[in-house]
Structure 1
Amino acid sequence: MKIKTRFSPSPTGLLHIGGLRTALYSWLFARKNNGTFILRIEDTDIKRVNNNSIKDILYVLNYLGLFWDKEPVYQSSRLKIYKDIISSMLKNNIAYKCYCSQERLDGLRKNQILNKQKPKYDRKCRYKNSCVKKFNIPYVVRFKNPISGLVKFTDMIRGEICTSNEELDDLIIQRSNGMPTYNFCVVIDDWKMNITHIIRGEDHINNTPRQINLLNALNARIPVYAHVSMILDSQGKKLSKRNHVMSVSNYINKGFIPEAILNYVLRLGWSYKDKEIFTINEMKNLFNLQSLSKSPSIINDKKLLWLNHYHLNNLPLEKVYQYFIMYAQIKKIFLDKNIDIKGLIKDFLCHHKTLHEFALSYCYFYQDIDLSKILDIHIYCNIFNLKILKFLYKKFFLLTQWSVSNILLLIKESALKFKVCFKDIAVLIRISIAGKKDTPNISSVILYIGKNTFLSRIKNLIKYIKLQILEK
């Protein structure tokens, strides 16, 4: 049997960590077993569908490298398939039209609750003469769920689950507006697409017996089910699509890289011995359904930060460079070609946990310095510093070999000439080229910022000090 899995999000909000975990587990299971992974967008609920959500789902999966096979499937393009099957079910007497008004259904539910009964439809229209036609009266179509017996299935995580048909309702498979329902469409698509394994959240467990009954009525093969545990936020609450803080795209915008995000999400309910760090290939080779936990997982941003720091510092430099370029594009950061970004990453990224943090700390590499906004800039506006800066400009302008050792020699030479300590010269240079007194090793900063930018910024401070002196 060829393994075939699917990820079938409803595009009603941004993709959150819980949805991503479902996608990852389905993708890993398919890849490990040389199977097929399908992306299916369940967009039949027109009122709630959000086009930005669809774009977000495609963007996140692409960014993380969870590539699907074939083209994405949109349920909204398959309406004729669903309606034809519903017509066939009506003809074969395994579904029926229900004309009960919402008022009647609300009253029925209210009475059942008052009598401490489980609210469900009383099947009034199921037993009416199906030949009687009612015109201009809205109706829904319901599936004739078996009235007696048990529905059994073996969940790959939770073991055998057994439900009495007496507990189940006659499922609505078509709304009064003629649109098929989620629970119907998902069953038909899983059947017609030959999905072999369905990995999804435990909140779908209650749907499974109804869907199995529907599949049996259609003489369709029953897939294997695996219902993964809930993911809770740090307050112990269920994740929500509407909480943008928890969206995956939010983490991407904060500078988290694919290896870290996937490693983190993998461990939210799955484990392999005491191993914490996983490469993408290790995930594909080691993943299995049997090691998934029944217990809920809790979001831990500190763990994600730790993993991001680890992967940033252990991936090949070229790979990290590519991620930073992608991040810069996302944030619309313009990077000067004269700046040695790879060198900057190689020497300084180790101090930071995210690309966002890194970019923020070294913004002076890609942003102009507004000298007027530097705290206590007036302290540096004097004739003595002006002489030092002019000397530095002249020496660095003549420098032909742009290297850390030569840069260091020139700074030392300047300090000796003006009889000041190295630290004072370094601070003046930092103010000129970075707009602040504290940076990493000054020689490295000068090296990576490049000769042209260095000279341009020294010149800018010279002009600024001249103006300040004249105004005095």
Structure 2
Amino acid sequence: MTVRVRFAPSPTGYLHVGGLRTAIFNFLFARHHGGVFILRIEDTDTERSTQAAVDQILDSLRWMNIAWDEGPYFQSQRMPLYRAHLDRLLESGHAYRCYCPAEELEKKRKAAESEKRQYKYDGTCRHLDPKADPAGRPFVIRFRMPEKYPDHFDDLVLGRIPIDEERLDDWILARSDGMPVYNFCVVVDDADMRISHVIRGNDHVANTPRQILLYQAFGYSAPQFAHIPLIHGPDGSKLSKRREAEYRKLGMSVSVQEYARMGYLPHALFNYMTRVGWSAGDQELFSLAEFIQKFDLDGVGKASGIMNPEKLKWVNAQYLKAEDDHALAQKLVPLLAEKGIGTTADDRLAKIAECLKPRSNTLVELAEKATIFFIAPTAYDEKAVRKFWNREARAWLEHLVEVLPELPLADEAAMEERFKGFAEKFSAGNMGKIAQPLRLALTGSTASPSIFTVMNILGKDECRARIRRAIEELGKLG
């Protein structure tokens, strides 16, 4: 049997991180088994579906390097297939037309609620002559529940799941406007596309019994089902769009596209999201080839996955460190442009990326730290000034300005030897007492990469200008 799986988002908004994790699991399952990964857009909700949402979903998947083998298929373009299958059920007696007015059904629903019992359609139209058409009245099409049906279904993640007959009735297959409902379309599509495994969130467990009965009515073999746990927020509650502002402060989002804006690398997000709810021992970081080799459903847990933004940042930091410096430079160019800094992905920017990536969690953070190499400090850290600025520091920096033209900035080993001599002369051999005032003058703070790297990237002219300005500004303090 060829493994065929699908990811089927609804284009009513952005791609949710929960949907991303579902897409990843389907993608890896297909690749692991040498199967086919299909993309299907479930856009039958015409009032809420938008082309902008479709574009955003496709762009997000492409950004994540999740390549589909077939599709995208659009349900809105498959209406003739659905209508043919509705006719097929009507002809076989597995479905019937229901003419009950909506107002009448609502009264019965409210009566059930007041009596604290599960509302079920009472079958008023179940035995009408299928050839009858009461004065052209509007109708819905309902599924005719069989007298006998399974008492459970087997799930590849959750195990044996009992079927609650109290939740089953003659449910609606198509509304009065002729539009088929989700549970009907998904069965027709999965059967037509020969889907072998349905891997989706466990919020769809309740839909599965009805879908299984539809497969039986059509005479189709049902796929194997695997309902994966949902993803919850850091506090254990369900992810909510209403809490997006709160999530952003933590460095996370419910929207996939926001992770690009926040400076996460797509392969880092892929790694992190795969590990939310799936395990393979203690290994944390995987190449795509390793994921494909090791991923299978037996590693998927039953408990909800918890988003941990600090862990996500750590994973991203590991990938940043491993990223090629010139590739990082390419990614930094637009981020620096947003800050009004025009530059190119040249060797200098690659050198900046190289020295800053071990100190950064995200591309945005890296870009922020990189600004010091393009914009001279206009203020100096007050705490550092109190600690490191004094007469000795001024004398040292004035001397450095004089000897700067002869220093070998490009040779960090030689620079270190020269600075040892400076330290003997100005700070009794204490390197920190000369390095920190210089770092303060060049960057405005005492937190930066190696002072020799900073000087090499800035160059002699810029170093001289920044040191002189610091002497002038800090000299006003006494």
Inter-partner Cα distance in structure 2 for 1:225 and 1:466: 72
Inter-partner Cα distance in structure 2 for 1:55 and 1:324: 27
Preserved contact between residue 156 and residue 224 of structure 1 (Cα < 8 Å): yes
Inter-partner Cα distance in structure 2 for 1:458 and 1:147: 89
Q: 1:430 to 1:150 in 2, by over 3 A?
A: same
List aligned pairs for 1:345-360, cutoff 5 A: 345-360=353-368
Inter-partner Cα distance in structure 2 for 1:225 and 1:282: 25
Inter-partner Cα distance in structure 1 for 2:242 and 2:266: 23
Preserved contact between residue 397 and residue 471 of structure 2 (Cα < 8 Å): no
Q: For 2:214, give the aligned amino acid.
A: L
Preserved contact between residue 6 and residue 198 of structure 2 (Cα < 8 Å): yes
Most deviating of 205-214 and 328-337: 328-337
For residue 182 of structure 1, report the CA deviation from its aligned partner.
1.4
Q: 1:463 to 1:309 in 2, by over 3 A?
A: closer
* 2:448 aligned to which of 439, 445, 450: 439
1:111 — aligned with what? 111
1:224 — aligned with what? 224
2:280 — aligned with what? 272
Matched, 1:322 2:327: yes
Matched, 1:303 2:311: yes
For residue 328 of structure 1, report the CA deviation from its aligned partner.
4.9
Q: For 2:261, give the aligned amino acid.
A: N
For residue 8 of structure 1, report the CA deviation from its aligned partner.
0.9
List aligned pairs for 1:183-332, cutoff 5 A: 183-240=183-240, 243-244=243-244, 245=247, 246-247=253-254, 248-313=256-321, 315=322, 317-318=323-324, 321-322=326-327, 325-326=330-331, 328-329=333-334, 332=337
For residue 242 of structure 1, report the CA deviation from its aligned partner.
5.8
List aligned pairs for 1:78-227, cutoff 5 A: 78-134=78-134, 137-150=137-150, 152-163=152-163, 165=165, 167-227=167-227
Preserved contact between residue 38 and residue 68 of structure 1 (Cα < 8 Å): yes
Matched, 1:369 2:379: no
Inter-partner Cα distance in structure 1 for 2:462 and 2:310: 41
Most deviating of 195-204 and 55-64: 55-64
Most deviating of 172-181 and 284-293: 172-181
Preserved contact between residue 148 and residue 164 of structure 1 (Cα < 8 Å): no
For residue 205 of structure 1, report the CA deviation from its aligned partner.
0.8
Preserved contact between residue 253 and residue 330 of structure 1 (Cα < 8 Å): no
Specify the SS of the correspondent of 1:29.
helix
List aligned pairs for 1:424-435, cutoff 5 A: 430=439, 433-435=442-444
Preserved contact between residue 43 and residue 49 of structure 1 (Cα < 8 Å): yes
Inter-partner Cα distance in structure 1 for 2:190 and 2:372: 53
For residue 24 of structure 1, report the CA deviation from its aligned partner.
1.3
Q: 1:342 to 1:466 in 2, by over 3 A?
A: closer
Q: For 2:53, give the aligned amino acid.
A: S
Most deviating of 430-439 and 9-18: 430-439
Inter-partner Cα distance in structure 2 for 1:460 and 1:303: 38
Most deviating of 234-243 and 404-413: 404-413
Inter-partner Cα distance in structure 1 for 2:84 and 2:336: 47
Specify the SS of the correspondent of 1:72.
strand
Inter-partner Cα distance in structure 2 for 1:183 and 1:345: 50
Cα deviations by residue, 1:417-454 (Å, 9 ceiling, x for unpaired): 9999976875675466534454222210122x353xx6
Matched, 1:343 2:351: yes
Most deviating of 93-102 and 26-35: 93-102
Specify the SS of the correspondent of 1:161.
strand
Most deviating of 30-39 and 324-333: 324-333
Superposition RMSD on alpha carbons, in Å? Answer: 3.8
Gaps of 5+ in 2: 248-252
For residue 23 of structure 1, report the CA deviation from its aligned partner.
1.1
Cα deviations by residue, 1:319-352 (Å, 9 ceiling, x for unpaired): x653563365467554445563333343432233
Specify the SS of the correspondent of 1:238.
coil
Same amino acid, percent of matched pairs: 34
Inter-partner Cα distance in structure 1 for 2:425 and 2:159: 80
1:67 — aligned with what? 67
1:44 — aligned with what? 44
Gaps of 5+ in 1: none
Preserved contact between residue 174 and residue 181 of structure 1 (Cα < 8 Å): yes
Most deviating of 271-280 and 458-467: 458-467
For residue 227 of structure 1, report the CA deviation from its aligned partner.
0.7
Preserved contact between residue 10 and residue 41 of structure 1 (Cα < 8 Å): yes
- After TM superposition, the score normalised by the length of structure 2 is 0.81
- After TM superposition, the score normalised by the length of structure 1 is 0.82
Preserved contact between residue 199 and residue 227 of structure 2 (Cα < 8 Å): yes
Inter-partner Cα distance in structure 2 for 1:443 and 1:185: 65
For residue 6 of structure 1, report the CA deviation from its aligned partner.
0.8
Inter-partner Cα distance in structure 2 for 1:351 and 1:49: 42
For residue 192 of structure 1, report the CA deviation from its aligned partner.
0.9
Specify the SS of the correspondent of 2:212.
helix
Cα deviations by residue, 1:228-260 (Å, 9 ceiling, x for unpaired): 122221222222356544323333333333343
Q: For 1:322, give the aligned amino acid.
A: A
Q: 1:392 to 1:180 in 2, by over 3 A?
A: farther
Q: 1:236 to 1:412 in 2, by over 3 A?
A: closer
Specify the SS of the correspondent of 1:88.
helix
Inter-partner Cα distance in structure 1 for 2:426 and 2:282: 60
Specify the SS of the correspondent of 2:71.
coil
Cα deviations by residue, 1:62-110 (Å, 9 ceiling, x for unpaired): 2222211133222222223223322333344332222222221211111
For residue 211 of structure 1, report the CA deviation from its aligned partner.
0.7
Q: 1:17 to 1:323 in 2, by over 3 A?
A: farther
2:410 — aligned with what? 402
Preserved contact between residue 11 and residue 49 of structure 1 (Cα < 8 Å): yes
Q: 1:141 to 1:33 in 2, by over 3 A?
A: same
Matched, 1:455 2:461: yes
Inter-partner Cα distance in structure 1 for 2:427 and 2:117: 92
Inter-partner Cα distance in structure 2 for 1:425 and 1:140: 83
